[in-house]
Chains A and B, each alone.
Chain A
Amino acid sequence: MLIPHPLLGLRDSSEFTYLGDAALLDRPDGMAEGAAARFHDYVHLRDNPAGIHRELWFHEQGDRSWLVVTRNTVTHEILGAELAREARLKGGAA
């Protein structure tokens, strides 16, 4: 799989390590009501969709930036990639 890195162009996916669903960018508020239950869901439960999936990849053997990659889990087709920082600024990962 080739990941279209927004700064570096097409990079082989083997340069990256994979973390998982980009929903992990939305960390719950530890001080809020019901935080324990929300952290359980955040840490352990996943949508795990068959189809379009937004996910976090770390360019470990490259510029060490975190990307949000949009990929089809059924075909492995990669539909886009953006810097995780910018995805966050745009308001959440979902």
Chain B
Amino acid sequence: MRFSGFRVFTEALRGHKGWQPLWRNPEPQPAYDYVIVGGGGHGLATAYYLATTFRQARIAVLEKGWLGSGNIGRNTTIIRSNYLLPGNQPFYEFSMKLWEGLEQELNFNAMVSQRGILNLFHTDAQRDAYRRRGNAMLLSGADAELLDSAQVRAMYPFLNFDNARFPIKGGLLQRRAGTARHDGVAWGYARGADMAGVDLIQNCEVTGFRIENGRVRGVETSRGHIGAGKVGVAVAGSSGRVMAMAGMRLPIESHVLQAFVTEGLKPVIDGVITFGAGHFYVSQSDKGGLVFGGDIDGYNSYAQRGNMAVIEDVAQGGMALMPMIGRARLLRVWGGIMDMSMDGSPIIDRTPIEGLYLNAGWCYGGFKATPASGHAFAHLLATDTPHDTARAYRLDRFARGRPIDEKGMGAQPNLH
């Protein structure tokens, strides 16, 4: 079933009776060549690229709940490639390029909207840091513009420019960045993978690995044993829990991040604004709600909800940046569990167990990575070599003294 304007038109005339489910709901087979654990954005994208770009077959995605029930459906939908370090920026720019062609490739409206992201700065030192970052972005083939405060004022006149502590001196703008509809991305990849023959198996929790002589042979699940040639784990906030079943300890702590949405308002913010110094960022959804967030709660958590202190902190950040937000009413607050790594950067690598591969450590920034993460993980699974842009994401990089620490915080996950 292909989507097109013509199809929407003819369905409208036929009372929308011709639409079908976007994917099958198959029973698990006894064995597959590839088993992907986790039906979030990364798992679904991995299966999609394995089946299409890398032309592999006999692939299953095992999801303990329903597709997209994890962070892919909980994030604040920002996509961007405005990183600094050489291990990161080319990867995120690769992802940005995949976003730009994603809807045509998937024949699915993921509402990719390149509305621009603006990172505000407040001091000369911060301006220098952003100038350096902007140059790193340009070197990777991405776009970046440094704005002064008059230029920022022309875009967003309602911001509090004269805050005594954090006056707005300007911002780093990436125009190609923006937002995408988070669960639309999951559905698009799920549909694409299903059409390419991937079995998407929901309500199927992996409860253990079958490992013989250092090689993975399959997984135990709530729906019985499933044999596998290779197993790729992409379970985001559950990475520690799942890899413990293979006897591994990871350089990861699980933490909760909260997000917020207000009632629908008239259009007021047409891009994404980040106020890093105040731990606050905001955009406006197409429905009109202001979507915003701030810091992680900061303690180990597997509860998909956070505490009041951070809610207050985020609200204060919002009031400091754009006082008019105080007039908006908060509609919902929710939380998701993220795998915070020791340097704030992800892992896409083999593990010491043969045939077992790990995609983890995405912290609060893995949504934008979804296309590149899926592509790079599929590359690794299919060819046993890392994708060019993902070579730095090794599991043993801490032992080798090669962390990718964008914030320079050291091995303290709640500070990244």
Residues of chain A having any CB pair with chain B under 8 Å: 1, 12-14, 17-21, 37, 40-41, 43-50, 53, 55, 71, 73-76
Contact = CB atoms under 8 A, between A and B. Distances in A.
16 contacts: A13-B309, A17-B298, A18-B298, A18-B414, A20-B300, A20-B414, A21-B300, A44-B398, A44-B411, A45-B250, A46-B251, A46-B252, A50-B240, A50-B241, A73-B302, A74-B302
A73 B300 contact: yes
User: From DSSP, what is the main secondary structure of chain B's interface residues?
Assistant: mixed
A33 to B, nearest CB: 17
Given A40-B398, A45-B249, A48-B254, A75 B303 contact: yes
Contact of B251 (A12, A13, A19, A44): A44
A43 B398 CA distance: 9
Given A12-B309, A18-B414, A20-B413, A48 B342 contact: no
User: From DSSP, what is the main secondary structure of chain A's interface residues?
Assistant: mixed
Interface string B276-303: 0000000000000000000000111111
A80 B173 CA distance: 47
Contacts of A74: 302-303
A41 to B, nearest CB: 8
Contacts of A48: 240-241, 244, 249-250, 252-254, 300
Nearest to A51: B302
B125 interface: no
Nearest to B238: A50
Most buried by B among A12, A21, A45, A48: A48
A50 B303 CA distance: 9
Nearest to B299: A18
Nearest to A18: B299
Nearest to A77: B303
